[in-house]
Amino acid sequence: MLKQKIKELFANDCSGHDYWHSIRVLNIAEKISKTEKCNNYIVMIAALLHDTDDIKIFETKDYKNARCIMSECHLTEDTIENVIEIIKEISFKGTETTSPKSVEGKIVQDADRLDAMGAIGIARAFAYGGSHNRAIHIPDCQPNINKDETEYRNNEGTTINHFYEKLLLIKDMMNTGCAKVIANRRDGYMREFLKEFYDEWNEQ
Ligand code: ADP
Ligand code: NI
């Protein structure tokens, strides 16, 4: 029932924030949660709902989408507040970073960040870039790694720059040991991709 509601909410998204992003975050959060002492139930709900009030997609106030879905599913007030707290804490704002207080929040944050890495992360970055009219690559356009939140959101830069501004920095931000291992592998794959990208770009 919760999954069905998420599916309906994200039905029209082509910017890398579709239903399947939520499902992947759910699956990887579940995997991480098996290696940590935590409340698995809260992890699963927070993972599924973590983007339901994302400011890039929705214009909701006070996490209205997440609150509505959870009350329609008859979750307790306690659970709802617990999950909202996690959703509040995990959104990545520019290059600044905060780690959630709860272990459940840390797990969902890791899972969300992992989905921005590796082959899927590459696919999502170009999907997002395309949907925001960003160029793939402009050789003399330098990355800006010290953006504040507004600059991060309004960035006119290229998708290749996004790798230096965010994607290659995520590996060192993981909270859990399990996520660190996965992040290392995915980071290596992105670096290989960039190397091949430049080799092809300069091929003559
Ligand atoms: P989250 O998944 O935590 O909401 P973001 O909203 O920052 O993270 O990004 C969502 C997806 O869109 C990620 O895969 C991210 O790499 C991609 N993305 C965000 N900003 C850009 C950008 N400026 N250029 C290319 N891809 C981006
Ligand atoms: Ni997300």
Closest ligand 1 atom to residue 90 Cα is 3
What's the pLDDT at 204? 85
User: How far, in Å, is the centroid of ligand 1 from the Cα of 204?
Assistant: 32
Judge if the beta carbon of residue 162 lies within 6 A of ligand 1: yes
Count of alpha carbons within 13 angstroms of residue 81, beta-carbon side: 3
Q: Is 3 left (phi over 0), alpha (psi -120 to 50) or beta?
A: alpha
Atom 5 in ligand 1: residue holding the nearest Cα: 92
Beta strands in the chain (DSSP E): none
Judge if the beta carbon of residue 176 lies within 6 A of ligand 1: no
Closest ligand 1 atom to residue 115 Cα is 14
Judge if the beta carbon of residue 116 lies within 6 A of ligand 1: yes
What's the pLDDT at 15? 63
Q: Which ligand is nearest to the CA of 20?
A: 2
Judge if the beta carbon of residue 185 lies within 6 A of ligand 1: no
User: How far, in Å, is the centroid of ligand 2 from the Cα of 63?
Assistant: 15
What's the pLDDT at 14? 65
Atom 14 in ligand 1: residue holding the nearest Cα: 116
Contact indicator for 68, 2 with CB cutoff of 8 Å: no
Of 20, 8, 111, the closest CA to residue 69 belongs to 8
Residue 55 DSSP class: T
What's the pLDDT at 16? 62
With vertex at residue 167, the alpha carbon angle to CA 42 and CA 27, rounded to the nearest 5 degrees, is 30
What's the pLDDT at 94? 47
Q: Which ligand is nearest to the CA of 124?
A: 1
User: Which of 166, 173, 174, 194 gets mutated to test ligand 1 (max ligand atoms within 8 A of its CB)?
Assistant: 166
Contact indicator for 117, 108 with CB cutoff of 8 Å: no
pTM of the model: 0.92
Atom 27 in ligand 1: residue holding the nearest Cα: 125
Closest ligand 1 atom to residue 167 Cα is 16
Q: What is the mean pLDDT of each run of 10 residues along the chain (204 residues)?
A: 88 75 97 97 96 86 93 95 93 66 96 97 95 93 76 77 95 97 98 98 93
